[in-house]
Chains A and B, each alone.
Chain A
Amino acid sequence: MLRILVLIIGLLLIGFITWWFFGKHAIATETASVADDIQQIDVNVNGGYSPERIVLKRGVPATLNFTRRDPSSCLDRVVFPDFGINRELPKGEQQSIQIDTSKAGEYQWACGMDMFHGKLIIK
Chain B
Amino acid sequence: MSITSRFWISLILSLPMLAEMILHPFGWMLPGGEWTMLVLTTVIMAVSAGPFWQSAWASFKKHHSNMDTLVAIGTATAYFYSVYAMITHQAVFFESAAFVTTFVLLGQVFEERMRNNASNAVEKLVNLQAKEANVMRNGELIKIPLSEVSVGDLIRVKPGEKIPVDGVITNGSSAIDESMVTGESMPVEKHTGDRVIGSTVNSNGTFLFKAEKVGSDTMLSQIVELVRKAQNSHAPIQKLTDQVSNIFVPIVLILAILTFLVWYVLLGTSVANALIFAVSVVVIACPCALGLATPTALMVGTGRSAKMGILIKNGEVLEAVNDITTVVFDKTGTITMGKPAVTDIVGDSQRVLSLATSLEADSEHPLAAAILAKAKAEKVSPTAVTDFHAVEGKGVEAIVDGKAAFIGNDKLLTDDSVSADLKQRAVALQAEAKTVVFVGIGDEVIGLIAIQDASKATSKEAIAALKARGLKTVMLTGDNERVAKAIADQVGIDSVIADVLPADKANRVQELQKTGKVAFVGDGINDAPALTVADVGIAMGSGTDIAIESGGIVLVKNDLRDVDRALAISRKTFNRIKLNLFWAFIYNVLGIPVAAGIFYGIGLTLSPELAGLAMAFSSLSVVTSSVLLNRAKITSSVSKAV
Q: Does A38 contact B (CB under 8 A)?
A: no
Residues on the B chain within 8 Å of A13, using CB? 257
Q: How far is the CB of B78 from chain A (nearest CB, A)?
A: 18
B116, closest chain A residue (CB):
A88
Q: Majority SS of interface residues in chain B?
A: helix
Task: Verify A21–B228 contact, CB threshold 8 A.
Answer: no
A50 touches B62 (CB 8 A): yes
Among candidates B62, B108, B111, B238, residue contacting A114 with C-beta atoms closer than 8 Å? B238
Tell me whether A114 and B291 are in contact (CB under 8 A).
Answer: yes
Residues of the B chain whose Cβ atoms lie less than 8 Å from the Cβ of A21: 63-65, 247, 249-250
Whether A73 is near chain B, meaning CB under 8 Å from some CB there, is: yes
Instruction: Give residues of chain A (36-50) contacting chain B, Cβ–Cβ below 8 Å.
Output: 46-48, 50
Kindly identify which residue among A50, A74, A81, A86 contacts B68, using a CB–CB cutoff of 8 Å. A74
Using CB atoms, name the residue of chain A closest to B58. Answer: A47
Interchain CA distance A71-B67 in the complex, whole Å: 12
Judge whether A84 and B228 touch: CB under 8 Å. Answer: yes
Which B residues are in CB contact (< 8 Å) with A6? 261, 264-265
Closest to B619 in A: A113
CB contacts (< 8 Å) of B64 on chain A: these are 21, 47-48, 116
- Would A46 and B257 count as touching, CB distance under 8 A? no
Output the nearest chain A residue to B264 by Cβ-Cβ distance: A6
Does A74 lie within 8 Å of B232, measured CB to CB?
A: no
Q: How many residues of A contact B (CB 8 A)?
A: 41
Q: Which residues of B contact A64 (CB under 8 A)?
A: none
CA gap between A52 and B61 in the complex, in Å: 13
A115 interface residue (CB < 8 Å to B): yes
B241 lies within 8 A of chain A by Cβ:
yes
Q: How far is the CB of A2 from chain B (nearest CB, A)?
A: 10
From B60, B67, B229, B265, A74 is in contact (CB under 8 Å) with: B67
The answer to whether B250 and A7 touch across the interface, beta carbons within 8 angstroms, is no
The number of residues on chain B lying at the interface, defined by a beta carbon within 8 Å of a beta carbon of chain A, is 52
B237 to chain A, nearest CB (A): 12
B103 shortest CB reach to chain A, Å: 15
CA distance A26 to B56 in the complex (A): 20
Check A70 against B232 for contact (C-beta < 8 Å).
Answer: no
Tell me, in angstroms, the Cα distance from A75 to B51 when the chains sit together: 13
Residues of A within 8 A of B288 (CB): 74, 113, 115
Interface residues of A in 1-55 (CB under 8 A from B): 3-4, 6-7, 10-11, 13-14, 17-18, 20-23, 25, 46-48, 50, 52
What is the minimal beta-carbon distance from A94 to any residue of chain B, in angstroms? 18
Q: Judge whether B55 and A114 touch: CB under 8 Å.
A: no
Q: Using Cβ atoms and an 8 Å threshold, which residues of chain A touch B258?
A: 10, 14
In the bound assembly, the distance between CA atoms of A14 and B241 in angstroms comes to: 23
Q: By the criterion CB–CB under 8 Å, are B58 and A17 in contact?
A: no
Interface check B66, CB cutoff 8 A = yes
Nearest CB in chain B: distance from A123 CB, A = 22
Give CA–CA (A86, B67) in the complex, Å. Answer: 21
Contact A86 B291 (CB under 8 A): no
Question: What are 25 sample pairs from A and B whose C-beta atoms fall under 8 A apart?
Answer: A3-B264, A6-B265, A7-B261, A14-B254, A21-B63, A21-B247, A21-B250, A25-B63, A47-B55, A47-B56, A47-B61, A48-B62, A48-B64, A70-B54, A70-B55, A70-B58, A71-B55, A72-B52, A73-B3, A73-B108, A74-B55, A84-B232, A112-B295, A114-B245, A115-B67
